Amino acid sequence: CVCVCFRNVRHTCNLDSSVQQHGILVSDCQSSDASECRLLCCWLTTALALYSPRRFKGGQFRVRAGDAGPQLVAKPLDGPTLDVCSPNPKVYSAAGNCLMAHVNGPDCMALAWMHSCGVRQMLGYTKPTWFGFLGWGAHRYLFANPGRLTFTECYFASMQALLLRLEEVQADVRRIGSAGGGGSSGGGCGSKGESGGATDDAELYRRGGAGLGRAAATNPMGEVEHRVRGLLFDREATVFYGDPAWVARLAKSQQDGDYYTMDLRPIVGPSSDTNASAASTTEALFEVVVCAIRTCTWTPTCPDDKVTLPGRPPLLMLDGSRKWTNVRVHQESQDQPRLVLTPLFAMLPLTGQLQAGHSVTHRFTATVETRA
């Protein structure tokens, strides 16, 4: 179980590289310090229980029906079972947890963490997870530039990166969808097993991860199908619980700086203030600039890459006050990535590497309606 402490969560948390990659075991699960917030990342779960990693014998967390709601209990290898009472605010990222976000009744893990353990926001899977692009992608945004995006925005950014990938393979999505690919784990909702009966989650999980992985090794189309089914699965099986307006973000690291900066600014127009309060409509020339502070690797090694940073395309959150129309990108080459621009965000789907000190600039002309 990885439980990383961070104080004043509006709050902030410092994570060094060793904590990110390996995690630490937290023994003070009874903490009730209200000034402290924690980021929780655990694994080996079902909807009703959480087990410690196989190489660490640490007991289990389970759920007990309580008078006021579901109660999380700790079952050590020896000793009495303890109620876990930890009201200090937390966010819980269950990126690698099968079924942790599956609410299959009033006494499940997700509701117990919220009710008795102070979890204010939670990201997780409602099915046995096998692809991991969306869940682990949220971590890429969380750790690449600590503090720049909130936990909610990291989930949102990862979802946009996933939807962009699906858009890039629309023909394959339609082909696989029409064949019953759907959003289930590899085999599709309501698919039939070898015996002709309904396929259960365990069988879908086996087909999705191992089965499609073996097909990809011998069949080029198998690799495409694996990717498309995985993206569809993540899109439909990943959920975010909690108030999205509640702000939780990591603290700026005192040891390692950000990987990149991303800015959107006007070059030619009546005003250089892109957050002007007065309502107006005007055409202007803008540029989006991504500058690498540290060497950035944009392309992950696999969908659930847990090491590469940033590992996802750079995304800049906007305040939603501007409506972009008549956007004309000043494309310098055919290889130039396509700028994604909405009132809420700008994304530049870069691939490969960008060396420290180098930058990528996209210019575009647009009519901008600024709402007061």
Give residue 256's Cα distance to chain centre.
21
Give the pLDDT of residue 3: 37
134 CB-contact burial (10 Å; exposed 0-12 / middle 13-18 / buried 19+):
buried
Q: What's the pTM value of the predicted model, to 2 decimals?
A: 0.78
Which residues of the chain fall below pLDDT 50?
Answer: 1-37, 41-45, 51, 53, 181-199, 201, 204-208, 210, 270, 272, 274-276
Q: Which residue has the tokens 């789907």?
A: 349
Rounded Cα–Cα distance for residues 208 and 104 (Å): 22
Rounded Cα–Cα distance for residues 182 and 174 (Å): 10
Q: What is the DSSP string of 291-341?
A: EESS-EE-S-SSTT-SS-SB-S--EEE--S-EEEEEEEE----TTSPPPEE
Give the pLDDT of residue 219: 58
Rounded Cα–Cα distance for residues 240 and 92 (Å): 10
For residue 260, what are the contacts with CB-CB under 8 A and spacing of at least 6?
144, 145, 290, 291, 292, 293, 294, 296, 310, 314, 354
Tokens of 345: 């965000």
**Using alpha carbons only, how large is the chain's radius of gyration in Å?**
22
For residue 219, what are the contacts with CB-CB under 8 A and spacing of at least 6?
none
Q: What is the DSSP string of 189-248?
A: TT-B-TTSSB--HHHHHHIIIIIHHHHHHH-HHHHHHHHHHHHHHHHHHEEEEE-TTS--
Residue 355 gets which letter from DSSP? -
3-class DSSP state of 348: coil
Residue 96 gets which letter from DSSP? T
Give the pLDDT of residue 226: 83
Residue 45 gets which letter from DSSP? B
